[in-house]
Structure 1
Amino acid sequence: MASNNWPRSHEGDFTISSFQFKDGSSLPKLRLHYRTLGCLKKDAQGRATNAILIMHGTTGSGANFFTPAFAGNLFNAGQPLSAEEYFLILPDGIGHGGSSKPSDGLRARFPRYCYGDMVRAQYALVSEHLGVNHLRLVCGTSMGGMHTWVWGTTYPTFMDALFPLASLPAQIAGRNRMWRKHAIDSIRLDPGFEGGEYGCPPPGFRSALHVLAWMASSPLKWQQAASDRASADEFIDALVERGMKSQDANNFAYAFDASWDYDPRPLLGAIEVPLTAVNSADDQVNPPELRILEMEMGKVKLGKAVVLPITDKTAGHGTHSIAECWVEHLVELLGRSERGEKARL
């Protein structure tokens, strides 16, 4: 289980003044919410040695990682990312969690942010506010996995290792783009959206939540959870209802639109550090039959691709948050990157 007594647990906000977005818009003040665990360590030359950045998925926040399945297998004493040993940084991306987002007041007038903006803001949080000049590891789940690829191609010497989960290093296209467009259009083309100034959630938001649920699901897990018609209806209705209560339609549409600039392919050769990318065979968002991960990994000098087989433990796209399924590959990467660092010295 995850501990309730993390060492040096901290939660705060970092404000960036006059933040300029890639689309040309700006905010006078951009707020980034974040959580940290542990204590930052530096060597005799002042270089940070134990900082780890962990980034969440679309519509999520750093709080998502504090579960028995993730933190309970990673953050406790003696575990691979122990907060006793490492300084863990878990930010809320732009448009998510406690960071600046459309629902704060601007609604559909909020800047059209993108992954590049989100990573640039994370870099400012890490380097300027937290005083971290080097990262031991950059990792993330789903959207956070894509951000990991962007970190590696944008700041190739800033970290020792990269560990993207449930993501592909290529522009979002094909069915992956189509279902995202379906979700966004279901919200924004609904008359109840009212240009983003709705009082009640537009009915189309329910359709958007349905398509997200299907794509992120595991056929095996859902069959086990709802093995007859009545229980299946109850399962999906309850799942969508929770989303209607916990999510905001503007925030949701912005979050899924944010990948408009994402395409790390031309810069994959710039990645300088060991990288292990882990996907699962039952992930419908990143289906293994496309073989995009394997094809693009050839451009990464120290890259390794892993596709986990379907088991009773995997859970479709959500396998990214079940550390038990992939922790051995994380441990191997940490060892591989540590040996590589020593070899360069």
Structure 2
Amino acid sequence: MEKKAVKFRDAIFIVTQERSCPIYNVGEEFKVVNCCLSISSFKPGCLFLAQEIVKIISSRDSFGGFSKLGGQRTKFSCGGCEGHVSFEFKKDKDFATLQMKLLNETEEKRRRQHLDKFFGVLRNLTIFEPLDDDALSDLTLLLDLKTIPIDKIIIKKGAPGDHLYILLKGRVAVMADDGSRLAELGHGEIFGEMSLLTGEPISQTVRSIAAVQVAMLSIKNFKQIIVKHPVLQLFLFKMLVERAQTMALRSGNITSGMTGELAEITIVDLFQLINSAQKTGTVSLALDQGKALVFFRDGQIIHARFLKLRNREAILMLLSEKSGHFSYTKGVPAELDRLPPIGEFIGILMEGLQRIDEQRG
């Protein structure tokens, strides 16, 4: 006897509840059309969920005609892994062709509007340069938009990180424990990514200092994009290290191996930081005009080289430099360790600043 072929019905299901599901969020949809199960191209497929949906669409009594008879199941669940999702029957394509067409048109319009809002902004951000346009479109559709008034805490130190934030409008401040501002962030910058990457609680409070508009990416969707695009993960970890160093510098803490840009901290502030911490170490500077070396012992400058200039004259010339890269390493060469300071630190600093003022005048 020939086995009767199983008939699969076309339908749409929507997630109504989730607990610790590693993939899906409330509101996401699964569509079955012509025996094919489709989800967002950005999301990986779950075999447990697919198996459950196959059971549903191949059963005559699962959901067919429920709106007319009222006796069939319309709510389902999947608990095949460590998580759990509940989902409901949304539309039966065979039953509501016109309604489905209108629904698809509405959904497509929403997608286009969402892409119009965010795609161009994200395309111009350095963080998303590794993603091609298709991948960036998938990411864009996962963002939620939120407007936050002035002087509101957006993320609080010690709280668990649950979103990455992309600042579309306005400004926010990264706050120190004493209420001072460690840094300000503006259009196109991101925050909240450190906690998502490390799994640690929020390290610094972020407060709005103007009315802001942010695009938010949930931790679940963030993890999915990181898994799918490892190059983005490497970029984010590099950003984490650089930002941590910048915060350390601004909070008055400099350690061996630290590097940075003079756009983040001026040479004057960098030298003052080493002096106040009474550090013994070497600052290497890569500048537009050439390289420079400055050697400190117990916070005092004992030797400096910049182009053909040495010691005091080298420092006076360096203080006016505004762009370039620096690195700090612990210790000085043995042959320089016994040299006396080239002069009183504050006096040299004041002379250099006075020269800069005279040149501006």
Length-normalised TM-score, structure 2: 0.21
Structure possessing the higher relative contact order (Cα contacts under 8 Å, 6 or more residues apart): 1
Which one has a larger percent strand, Structure 1 or Structure 2?
Answer: 2
Length-normalised TM-score, structure 1: 0.22
Pick the structure with greater CA Rg: 2
